[in-house]
Structure 1
């Protein structure tokens, strides 16, 4: 049973991040705590006028091997691991002149930051901490008697506990800090293991560990009865995780998910582009001569669904576009940059969440997508597949026109970000109908066409926006009926992966209706 309070008499301090260290150490000294330290930590404390005992003087063994061996010594680990309630432990410590260490303050070599900064192999290896994790794990194991601190943010907790317990800490705090310590070393080893796998180009190693830092507690998850938090993994991929929120309410679980989907989609385009997302699916996407023109075209695809949506752009967002976006209710806006004039426009809508991401993600960059299922994880490489003109194979008698070809490529890029079964109609660089998440591809084609009729009506037009459009399918048409639904919607050209046992039947139907059709050889299921 852990003692009610363990008074701290000796502390071992060895940190890389020295934030707040001097003030905390001064409090310890003022509380009668002896300080053991090493290297840069000892130097900083001495410069602050605090008494420090070098670990080397305590162990009688010098720091060596360029600092690789400092605290790996029985007098250090014995002082941490010895149980104060066992006579055999106390006798062994006395026999070998080992004094108890009651507080271990250690944070680790900055391996994650070093790698993120682009360090080479040798520098990364030198930033793998060995003694630090050993000290942390030892102190955490013996938390009945030892307090362990791995984060400067926890200095205040220890001070507050000592202040009300006459220099002691409570079992509850020590146990909580022990849990944090093990989570920190686990995340650290995860980062190292992930880096080694990346160096070996092994995307799916035999053991996969996932580490993250809780960046934000969320009010709830997808629904109010679900708890949720947002964790960052340290992946160097610009987006919602690294963006700076300029204004607005706290982002919700659904906001974060939808904003990520929007920014990943808009990054697919080289020309100025806008994506409007609702429930992780695009309800309008367009390229244009500028962002304002692209936004108008994207909004026209489905102005009803765009209400309360997420807007992402792939260029600096200026005042002209801000004025247009501000005309309807929008939940979140994300852009690589936002001008001061645009910020002034948005400032009038205090609840609007505005994010500046700095740069765009690379659609082709490697990475992993992870999803939980009962009892395990489904892990795959990110869908970085991209199709260009040279990848297309014309399979019909008619070749697509130059405009159709441009629109086909746009449609297929959007299709990649639409839930399966996905059908996307595009005309003049803008979506004019989107069918998402249906069990039948035919239904997706029909729903997209029907929504295009609603959108046409909103513009005061008769008919459908899909008349004269092209259509993309995320996977092959298993039967001709899906293609015929697109024909009925007014499509003139088709892009699809191909590969069905009935491809000949589908090609024949396309020829009979004068369509141009190209195969990509690549599908984009998104479940």
Structure 2
């Protein structure tokens, strides 16, 4: 397969060649139905497809992911969509179908980062999801199939350049991963350990209800397909904060925690009630809501916000240390937290507690694992040790 370019436009030519893994494997894991992929497009598609396939298999529900730069911006299982979120995506009063709901929930986890994403879904794309994607800034989608109407509709997007990729659910990858880097060929056995409820049996402290176990499993699948170090906050089947690619794990915890607070503040009634001038585009509205939720607008941004709003800005939630803002953030609870590596210090637990975390899953095995467990007990958290590290580089 000839690619438009490599990681950067100056890296030409670029291509992708299927690896023979057995009879009938020559076609590779996916095929292009429309558009011309770049190197990063394929990396996002392959990562996204593996994530949603694994999540749907482990949890028995349709799954979706919004991939950007080889890590998920958001991932979610099918579930309820809030009325104002549905309205923001141009949906009517009827509840969206399971696959559409999964993608809306995944994209809305971090809608600023999802701008120009590559969507991945676990089930065949129907006309409803295709129609939704037609109105969003999205570069492409990977799925195990499409209705004829969905392919036709998506192929018209972006002046015919929208990338439509079909994954082969029956494809079996080779048992060995191979990577060439600066003149060296590195090989390793493929990590094919299944993510399932059997990983959550070592409950060190606290209790683990089924809904929390589901969220922890989704978090573990997500960090498996996120650049390490990585942690993931999950609530009700939605990733509400993902921290990726940080050298320090506590930096991942704090980064993902801030995203979790932003996700929650976007649900504050004052932020939801913001009314924009009709000329303001959807993504600009999203970006303004995110900035208001973050609570640290610059003086220039405050004045710019006044120009696009109908009515005054929601001053009660703009101040980062405002009492109303703190009261709302204190209401956040029921969050699950998954880590791709062992928590090396109890500071991860202390920071996670600030963001409503009630359940933690991590491999264990750190020399300070006892102190991490005592920190969880002190915070009233449940700690589960999986014994499984999930680094991805």
TM-score (norm 2): 0.73
Report deviation, 1:298: 0.6
Contact 2:140 2:162 in 1 (8 A): yes
- 1:68-107 equivalences in 2 (<5 Å): none
Q: Does 1:247 align with 2:34?
A: yes
Task: With a CA cutoff of 8 Å and minimum separation of 6, indicate the structure with the bigger relative contact order.
Answer: 2
Paired residues for 1:33-432 under 5 Å: 215-216=1-2, 218-227=3-12, 228-235=14-21, 241-248=28-35, 250-268=36-54, 269-270=56-57, 271-288=61-78, 290-349=98-157, 350-359=160-169, 361=171, 367-432=175-240
Q: 3-state DSSP class of the match of 1:306?
A: coil
Q: Give SS of 1:231's match.
A: coil
**Structure 1 residue 242 displacement after superposition:** 4.5
CA distance 1:448–1:338, shift in 2 (3 Å)? same
Q: Which residue of 2 aligns with 1:469?
A: 335
Aligned length: 309
**Unaligned stretches of 5+ in structure 2?**
80-97, 273-324
Structure 1 residues 391, 256: closer, same or farther in 2, change over 3 A?
closer
Q: 2:370 aligns with which of 492, 504, 510?
A: 504
Counterpart-to-counterpart distance in 1, 2:72 and 2:203 = 29
Q: How far did residue 296 of structure 1 move?
A: 1.6
Using the TM superposition, give the Cα deviation of residue 387 of structure 1 relative to its aligned residue in structure 2, in angstroms.
Answer: 3.2
Q: After superposing the two structures, state which structure 1 stretch, 424-433 or 503-512, moved more.
A: 424-433
Residue 513 in structure 1 maps to residue 368 in structure 2: no
**Superposition deviation, residue 366 in structure 1:** 5.3
Retained in 2: the 8 A contact 1:284–1:299? yes
Gaps of 5+ in 1: 1-214
- Change in 2 beyond 3 A, CA 1:238/1:454: farther
Give, in whole Å, the separation in 1 of the partners of 2:76 and 2:18. Answer: 30
Asked if residue 483 in structure 1 is aligned to residue 349 in structure 2, the reply is: yes
Deviation for aligned residue 1:490: 1.2
Normalised by the length of structure 1, the TM-score is: 0.55
Residue deviations 1:304-335, cap 9 Å, x none? Answer: 11111111111111011112222211111111
Q: 1:335 to 1:238 in 2, by over 3 A?
A: farther
Q: Measure the CA separation in 2 of the matches of 1:455 and 1:398.
A: 26
Change (3 A) 1:456 1:323: farther
Alignment partners' CA distance in 2, 1:472 and 1:239: 36
Cα deviation digits, residues 33-91 of structure 1 (max 9, x gap): xxxxxxxxxxxxxxxxxxxxxxxxxxxxxxxxxxxxxxxxxxxxxxxxxxxxxxxxxxx
> What is the DSSP-based 3-state SS (H/G/I as helix, E as strand, rest coil) of the residue aligned with 1:470?
strand
Structure 2 SS opposite 1:301: coil
